[in-house]
Amino acid sequence: MVRQCAVIFGCLAMGELVVYLTGTKLPSSIIGMILLTCLLKFKVIKLEKIQKISDFLVSNIGFFFVPPGIALMLYLDLIQEEFWPILVSAFVSTILVLAVTGWVYQISNKKK
């Protein structure tokens, strides 16, 4: 399990390095996930090598949302002030994501 963690944290560290060297505004965790996805896709890393830790992290994903959820309480006054803009932007972005996802799915299915 330590090796599996090392692979995942290694990808995160590479993401940090990319952000440091390029100065990009993209979060290092996103770059690390893209790197891990590419390594899995091109079979540089076999899925079996990180399956156990991945299953563990996914099954306990709720724990990772508790600290940010509690931290939201610190900004409750700001959230109350900006409630409607937050609600409208969340609604509009959800509709956009659904529409774009459906559109991409339809395009990818036509090619098959």
Domain ranges of the chain: 1-59, 68-112
Report the mean per-residue pLDDT for the chain.
Answer: 94
> Cβ(85)–Cβ(93) under 8 Å?
no
pLDDT tens-digit series, residues 46-61:
999 999 999 999 999 9
Please state which of the ranges 11-25, 31-45, 98-112 shows the lowest mean pLDDT: 98-112
pLDDT above 80: residue 80: yes
Of 62-66, 79-83, 94-98, give the lowest mean pLDDT range. Answer: 62-66
Residue 112's pLDDT is 62
How far is the C-alpha of 39 from the C-alpha of 7, rounded, in Å?
10
Picking from 53, 45, 47, 51, the residue whose alpha carbon sits closest to that of residue 1 is 53
Percent of the chain with pLDDT over 90: 87
Region 10-35: what's the mean pLDDT? 95
